[in-house]
Structure 1
Amino acid sequence: MRLVKIDKVQPGMKLGKPIYNDKGKILLTKGAELIDRIIPKLQKYNVSTVYIEDEVSEGIEVIESIPEELRIEALNTITEGFQTLIDLSDSKSNLQGMMKSGRAIRGFQKVFKDILASLTDNQNALNLLASTKIHENYVFNHSLNVSIYACQLALENGLPLKNIEEIGLGAMLHDLGKVYIPLDLLNKPGDLTLEEYALIKQHCKMGFDTLRKIHEIPLPVAHCALQHHERIDGMGYPRGLKEDEIHKYAKIISVADVFDAVTNPRAFMAAVLPHKGLEILYAGSGTQFDPVQVNLFKGCIAIYPPGLTITLNDGRTGIVTQYNYQAAGRPEIRIIRNEENENVIPYEINLGAKENQTLEIVMADALI
C-alpha cells in the first residue's frame, strides 16, 4: 500500500483505505476502483491524497496512529468548541453560558481521551499521515496535530495520566487566541509590519484570558496558551520567561507547535520536509527549546512512515517500506522509478547504510 497525491492518481487504481467526508461518513470503500469521474469529485471533498494498493507497493504495511474517523471527529469538536468558547467570552457569564462551556470542554476531553487510547494501543512511532484535509482553517488543523504530537511526547516523558490529559487539552487550546485575530492577517503572504506582528503576538494572552475564566479548565492548561511562545533563553513572548520559569507543559507543546508549523504550508511560508523540521528543532535546542524534549520528540515520531512516496536527490522515486529508528530521516526505500522517471523492477535500498550516505530525500509530495 502507498500514499498517492490526488493529482497523480491514475484511473483504474484501487483504494487501499476507505475515504471519508468531513462528517465521518464513507465516500468510497476499500478496494473501490478510482474511475475518471470520481477523481474530480474527491478533490471537491478536499481529499488531497489517497492510499492505493498495487503491485509495486505489495507487502508495505501502513499503520495509522490515529484512525481517519477519529481525526474527523476531533477536528469537528475543535471547530465547534473554539466557536462556543469565543462566543461565551464575548458575552456576560451566566448559568446557560457556564453549561455551554462545560459541554465544550467535556467534548475536548472526550476526543483527547480517544486520541490517547489510540496512541497507547499503537506501539509504533507516531504516523500522522491522513488523506483528508478536513478544514480549510489552518488553526483548527494545527491545533489537532499539536495535541497529537504533544500527547505522544508526554507519553515519552512517562508522565502520569492526569498530566497527559492536561497537556492534551492545553495543546488543543493553545492557539485559541488566534480566533480573535483577523483571518486576513493570519493568512497574509509576505512579511508582517511591526504593528501586525505585535497584534498576532497578543493571541497568547487573549487565549489565556479566555481560558482562565472557564471553571472546568485547570490553570496549567490556560498557561499552555500563555506560554507556548516562551523560549528557555528568555527571548520569547509574552513575558520573556526562561528555563524553569516556563511550565513543563508549555515546553512540550512548543516543540510540537513549531514542528507542525514548519512542516505544513502557510500563506507566508512554504513547508519544509520533516527531516528539515527536526533540524530546526535541533538548531533551537538549548536556546528556544528544552533539549530533553527535542531528543524525546525525535524518537517518538515517524517523519517518513511506510507507504510514503519520496524522491531522492539523484532523481529516483521510491516508497518508504520501513522506518529507521536510528536515523529518522533515512528510512528503507523500495525504488520504483529510475533517474529518468522510468518504471523499473522494484528493488530495496536502505538510506541508513554507509554506501547510501550521499543520498537524501528531496521531495515527499503527499506531505508538502
Structure 2
Amino acid sequence: MKCVHIESVEQGDLLGKTIYSSSGTVLLSEGVQLTVFMINTLKRIGVTMVYIKDPNFEDIEFEEMISDETKRAVIKRMAETMEALRSGKDFSTKAVSLTMDQLLDDVMKNRELLVHLTDIRTEDNKMYVHAMNVCMMSVLMGLNRNLNAGQLKELAIGALLHDIGKVGSYNDDGEDMRRHHTWRGFELLKNKREYNLLIAHVAFQHHESEDGTGVPREVGSDQIHLYAKIVAVANTYDNLLHDERVGGKRMLPHEACEHMMALAESRLDRETVIDFLRTVSVYPTGVSVRLSSREMGVVVGQHRGLPSRPIVRVVNGTDDDFEVKEIDLAKHTTIFIESVIA
C-alpha cells in the first residue's frame, strides 16, 4: 500500500488502513472499495491523507509500534476520560492505568522499530490520536533513557493526559489559553491520590522551554522535569505533522525533524531531541518520493541506524510492460531523496 493525499484518491481505490472514530469503533475497514460518497465523507470529516492498496506495493509491511487492539483501547479510554470531564464527573484512574499497561507491553516488544505515525485522523478523533502518539513516543524515549518500569508507567500516564486541561480551555474567540490548560491539567491531576505528583507536572510543564521563555511559569531547563522534557519533544513532533497552528502549516516528517533540531537548546532539550531523531522514520514507509536520479518511487523499508536512508521501490513503464527495482539508499550513497510527493 502507499500513502496518498485525499485529493488523489479515486473511486474504486481500496483502503489500505482502517480508520477509527473517537470512540475506537471502525469508521471504514481496511480493504473496503471506496465510493465517491465515502471519499467526500472522508474529506468532510477532516481526513487529509489515507493509505491505499496498490498491486505494486502489496508486500509492504507496516510494522506498528502498538497493535490495532491497543490503539482502539487507548482512543476509547481517552474519549471516556474527556467525556467524563466535560460532564463534570471524575474519570477512572484505574482504567487509564490498565490501558497504559497494555500500551507499555506493546512498546516494550517493538522498541527496535522506527517511529512512523500512520493513523488516519478525523476532526472527531484527532485529539485522542495525538494523545496516543505522544504517549507512545514518550515511552520509547523513556526506554532509551533507561527509565525503570515504575518511571515508564508514570511517564506514560503523564504523556497520555498531558493535554487534559484543554477541556474548556479555549475562550469564545478560539484564542489559545495555554496558560490555562497547563495550570488546569496540573490542578486536575495533582489531586489524584493514585498518581505520583510528577504525572501532574507533565501536564504543568510540557510547554516550558529550555531557555526560560515557555509557559506557564517561564522556568529554565534545570527546573523542568525529565518527563516533561520528553513529552515536550513528542508533543512538538506530532503537532508539527498534524497541527496547522504550529508554524502555520503541517510539515512532512523530514521537515519536522529539521525544525526540531533548530529548536534544540532554545525550546527543547537537545539530548532528548537527538535521542528522538535516532528512533523516528524520517521518510515513513508508504510515502512517495522523488530521488536525485530523477526517479520516483515509494519507501518500502527502513534502517534502524540510518532513518534518513530508507529503501525505495521504483516502478518504471506501463501496466503491460514495467520494471520494478529497489534502491537501498544505505548502499547507494550517491543517491538521495530530493522531495516527498504529498
Name the residue aligned to 1:189: none
Secondary structure at the aligned position of 1:237 is classed as: coil
Map Cα deviations across residues 7-61 of structure 1 (whole Å, 9 max, x no partner).
4334444455555555545566555544566544665676655444433114322
Structure 2 distance, partners of 1:330, 1:355, is 11
Map Cα deviations across residues 149-200 of structure 1 (whole Å, 9 max, x no partner).
11111111121111111111111111122223226655xxxxxxxxx56x43
Matches within 5 A, 1:176-325: 176-182=164-170, 185-186=173-174, 196=175, 199-267=177-245, 269-311=248-290, 316-325=295-304
- Identity within the alignment, %: 30
Name the residue aligned to 1:158: 146
Name the residue aligned to 1:91: none
Off by >6 Å, runs of 4+ in structure 1: none
Secondary structure at the aligned position of 1:349 is classed as: strand
Name the residue aligned to 1:147: 135
Name the residue aligned to 1:125: 114
Q: Unaligned 5+ residue runs, structure 1?
A: 89-96, 187-195
Secondary structure at the aligned position of 2:298 is classed as: strand
**Displacement of 1:299:** 1.6
For the structure 1 residues 279 and 46, does the alpha-carbon distance in structure 2 shift closer, same or farther, using more than 3 Å as the test? closer
Q: Size of the alignment, in residue pairs? A: 336
- Mapped contact 1:336–1:345 kept (Cα < 8 A): yes
Q: What is the RMSD computed on CA atoms of the aligned residues? A: 3.1
Secondary structure at the aligned position of 1:347 is classed as: strand
For the structure 1 residues 17 and 242, does the alpha-carbon distance in structure 2 shift closer, same or farther, using more than 3 Å as the test? closer
Q: Unaligned 5+ residue runs, structure 2?
A: none
Map Cα deviations across residues 82-122 of structure 1 (whole Å, 9 max, x no partner).
2323544xxxxxxxx6xx43x2x222222222222222222
For the structure 1 residues 277 and 28, does the alpha-carbon distance in structure 2 shift closer, same or farther, using more than 3 Å as the test? closer
Map Cα deviations across residues 329-359 of structure 1 (whole Å, 9 max, x no partner).
3322112469xxxx963332344533224x4
**Displacement of 1:3:** 3.1
Structure 2 distance, partners of 1:112, 1:124, is 19
Structure 2 distance, partners of 1:35, 1:140, is 27
Name the residue aligned to 1:78: 78
What's the TM-score, normalizing by structure 2?
0.84
Structure 2 distance, partners of 1:160, 1:135, is 36
What's the TM-score, normalizing by structure 1?
0.78
Structure 2 distance, partners of 1:272, 1:26, is 27
**Displacement of 1:249:** 0.6
Map Cα deviations across residues 102-147 of structure 1 (whole Å, 9 max, x no partner).
x2x22222222222222222232123202x3255365433222211
For the structure 1 residues 308 and 183, does the alpha-carbon distance in structure 2 shift closer, same or farther, using more than 3 Å as the test? farther
